Structure 1
Amino acid sequence: MTTTVPGVIETAEVHFDDFDPMGIVHNARYGILVERALMKYWIRHGWSFDPGRSKLGDATLAVREVSITYHVPIFEAGTVDVHFWIDKLGSSSVVYGFRVLSPDHTVVHAEGRRVQVAIDRETGRPKALSDLLRKAAEPLLVSSPPAS
């Protein structure tokens, strides 16, 4: 990939326990690779596992939906790059698009979407995204998704 694309690319570690008995990364582990990449971005922008320490307000987001299309298996431990962006930033939800790439970006291993909803910790019900979180999300927001 030689062109500039919207979104962010973060590196994620592929560990030996991510592999299935066939010697390829297990399909369920791709969501974890995406999670690891997203966490790098959000922690760097002030999010914390402890809501009292988060610089983004009370940002508790629960995954509502994940869909993944698998293209080329990952056969080796090491690193992959995860390219992600936000397709839609709603009042209480975030819709990400993502691609799991080889380190040199010549192979798209998988691509998909992930929907998260901000929830109130006391009620478990959806709540509005904080203005601080919305501002930190702006660099990820794209008007049209990148081509695969």
Structure 2
Amino acid sequence: MLRFLNRLLGRNQNTLPPFDFARNRFLAKKKWPPNLRELTEKQQFRFERKFKRRHKLKAVRPQWDKWVKIVQWSMISFIAVYGVLFHDFRKDPMNPKPGEQPFEGLRRRMWGLLGNFYTHTESTTRVERGARRLEHSADDQSPKARS
């Protein structure tokens, strides 16, 4: 099957002989991987420490780590905000106290501060703003008092 795929892709068969480690001109200083059973405990510990350090250095990917953190914290924030402000716990079957909303006070305060910020109907907000302007203009006759 592999020969068929190589022929389809236009690759030639490898004509190089297999690598002979016995005839290698560049001999290794140490045998790799070392046989841990032959090493003393101190040598094993040093080897493991060195190997872990090298592995950590090789595994460092700052760009990937940065974006993973950004995505994780974004998801955590979204779930927390959704759970506190929008999720209906009254209908949730996993709620230990059915029919009770645990964040009701916080929701009322939050939506009281935001008001109609997220609504699509502007007629109610214009009427309220207009009524406020009329109240302010009736209370304060001088322009200096308004500012």
Task: Give the TM-score normalised by structure 1.
Answer: 0.18
- Greater percentage in strand: 1
Higher relative contact order (CA 8 A, sep 6+): 1
- Greater percentage in helix: 2
Q: Which has the larger radius of gyration?
A: 2
